[in-house]
Amino acid sequence: MPEKKTIEYSLPGFIPRHIAIIMDGNGRWAKKKGLPRLAGHKAGVDSVRNIVRFAGKIGVKYLTLYTFSTENWARPVKEVSFLMKMMNRLLETEVTDLDKNNVKLKIIGNRSLIEDKFVKKIEKAENKLKNNTGLNLILALSYGGRDEIIHAVKRIIENVKNGKDIDIDEDEFKNYLYTEDIPDPELVIRTSGEYRLSNFLVYQAAYSEIYITKTLWPDFNENSFTEAIEDFNKRERRFGKV
């Protein structure tokens, strides 16, 4: 089988420093093919692997992937169990490859909802890759934008109770978010054609450019990624100014 062709050569001169992706459409992809939803999630993993490698190759510094939301815990038990087991295995099998490609890993989200054994694997993976200097891969796992803000407010309240003098402005507030050491995304991509953020980076994406594609996540490839970046380069970003 011939190697899949990319259009890397046509990339625009400016690559956004931070790109975030709402990976949507695994279930619909499977349904279109007459397959169970779980098959869609497996296919989605292949897209993750391809996009992570491609993002690092073209010079993206930060790539945030919406992996599992706080709302996803309400999905059928069988599906949630499958997703957790799949991500558990991926942490074990993919870390070596990430390390070879100089990728640094950070997982953001509410870890209190995750099984302790899995949390320990997360911490082990992050620690192993912490000194890498290439792509910063951020996986939003058990993540919700509103939950993140509430978590930040609780941290601030706790610090004030403990006698810390805090002068809250936007810059200071960012220090209490899961993304405290990560720049805001310039570009947010959503696959599957839905027009909403779905509780993803609701604070950080205030001035992000939003790119919607009808492509379902398992079909999202290097060409799709390039098209999103090309569209971003056509935007005029004014941040509320004239």
Most distant CA pair in the chain, distance: 65
Active site residue 233: no
d(CA 198, CA 140): 13
**Catalytic site includes residue 72:** yes
| Distance, CA of 69 to CA of 80 (rounded, Å) | 11
How many residues are given for the chain? Answer: 242
Query: What would the 3-class secondary structure string for 32-92 be?
Result: HCCCCHHHHHHHHHHHHHHHHHHHHHHCCCEEEEEEEECHHHHCCHHHHHHHHHHHHHHHH
Cross-strand bridge partners of residue 66: 22, 140
Beta carbons within 8 Å of 48's beta carbon, 6+ residues apart: 23, 65
Which listed residue (24, 26, 184, 199) is catalytic? 24
Residue of 26, 46, 50, 72 with catalytic role? 72
Provide the annotated active-site residues.
Answer: 24, 72
